Structure 1
Amino acid sequence: MNDTPTRPRRRRIRLLFGAACAVALTVSGTVLAPSAHAEADRQVCSNSTGSHNGYYFSFWKDSGDACMVLRENGRYSSSWGRSTNNWVGGKGWSTGGRRTITYSGNYNPGNNNTYLALYGWTRNSLIEYYVVENFGSYNPSSGAQRMGTVTTDGGTYDILRSQRVNQPSIDGTATFYQFWSVRQQKRSSGTITFGNHMDAWARAGLNLGSSWAYQVMGTEGYQSQGSSDITVSEGGGGNPNPNPTNPPPGNGNCSVSVTRAEDWNDRFNTTFSVSGASNWVVSIRTNGGQSLQSSWNASVSGSSGTITARPNGNGNNFGITLYKNGNNTTPTASCSTG
């Protein structure tokens, strides 16, 4: 079981101490419904939590010039310079859950140690979790234990786990796990179907707790400089995947074999083996109402009908899990060169 590297460990200690203070102040609070009159923009430059225009917010720093401006609805903007050692802030919900969120805006990490993530905690068990959408020079999952991948919302995420031993948390000093989904194709706008990450973590043996603390779309910076302007809301916003759902036509010079694998009442696994090319595009034709639950060892786009798979550096063998949705037929596939 791997810990995160030395420097990020110091960073997380500072961040978790701030998170612990924030939750101690607000864990029993609930998000207020939007008022009839929108609240004015509010600048936050000191550690605080609360509600603004119907959204929960949190802001913490240990020093420096980092500030966050709370704007209309779920929007916030932030900026920070190198006088700030560590800061984190964002807007979201005082209680996390299996929600789908949409976010959009601008995130400017440069070549700096910073990231943009859906972030929160659970209790029973105590878990700190991240869905990292974008980051700068440092991948926040570095040093964590790799547990697989999941494809959802038009991209592929690495699934990882790390452990913190006797470190600050929302419940004081404790030993707890961190669950990570780190997007391979960085982006600053899109939809996060958090339930898909929960399911993927559970399939990898990573089970969140039964009691939810807060959940925010946050920006963090550590010994860096940057800015962000992010708007978050609940609900899906469509597939932001820039890659086409349907592959280019043509057979190319590769072939693919299809093998039916594990089978359950509601879903089944299918594995694929490509030969003849390393730069390939596999077109997978599902049947009836079948839909994609997850995938591994490939970058997969689309969720039903024709699904497209491309290599992601894990070789020529990959697999998918399909929900049957009343149809138990094994999909077919064809291969073309990319």
Structure 2
Amino acid sequence: MDSSCVATSFRIPEQVLTSSGQRMQLLGFGTAAYPLVTPQVAKQAILQAIKLGHRHFDTAYIYGTEQPLGEAIVEAISLGLIISRDELFITTKLWCSNAYGELVLPQLRRSLQNLKMEYVDLFLIHWPLSLKPGRYEFPVRKVEISPMDFGSVWAAMEDCQRLGLTKSIGVSNFSCKKLADILALAKIPPAVNQVEFNPLWNQKKLREYCKANGVLLIGYSPLGASGTLWGSSRVLENEVLKEIAKAKGKTVAQICLKWAFEEGVGVIVKSFNVERMKQNLEILDWSLSEEERKRIGDLPQSRGCTGESFVSENGTFKTIEEFWDGEVGLHFHSKK
């Protein structure tokens, strides 16, 4: 059985990465589960996602899902769901405790071992800071946060790409200022900046900056990451979004994902529930009206994922505003 035999009506739009020419589905399948799930649950969800047509998978060293993802891909090939690993676009990330020049390559090699792969398609710096080496936990110990040496870490990321261990490199959770710092010293510019993105935090300024510099913005928490340490139900419970969803006969989640697509932004969406997986893919044969898009565009803006885990009075980043270089939104409110 080859991949053309997979029963799916979903044809997910793709985007070409400027820096490498790779094709990447704009709807990525996320594997950051909170509360944590067993490796078997993660593996089965990933297999189901492959059956439904997902070919872009997002993981990270700190998520603990690299190994289940790798095992799911091996099984998908053996079942004939895909012909080879080359049909997939795989992203993983450098955790902060390995964000030191000499530790970047060893972590990527460990990630590849977990994934049972010779390369990933995209390797991202997870957050713009360093932690004490050897710590793999979240929330982090704030006293162990230190500024990242962008020069040595980015040079090591570039080495990873030159060695063929990753096709592209990029960053995650970088403000315009921090992205500018990387661009100023990069020989290979970042292909992607993966950040929080949803109707209540539309990243207008950062999107414009990324576009002007050939960096693709990919959004996580497009539905607000309800039920996680870093998210809330504010997106799914928003009255305007609920009204639009009701009028359209769609779910709020579908409205959010369709809006992201129409804004030209790729998103990472995580659901291990099969029915919701299918619903998340049923966004390709209808459109939002100009009036609906305007109502969404007029929503008050503030961060949901504030980065408070990395902020402390006596630490490297003393306020949330400092951590994001002022990019917190006009209607920002700190979560207590």
Q: TM-score, normalised by structure 2?
A: 0.27
Task: Find the structure with the greater CA-based Rg.
Answer: 1
Name whichever structure is richer in strand by fraction: 1
Ranked by relative contact order (alpha carbons within 8 Å, sequence separation 6 or more), the top structure is 1
Would you tell me which structure has more helix in proportion to its own residues? Answer: 2
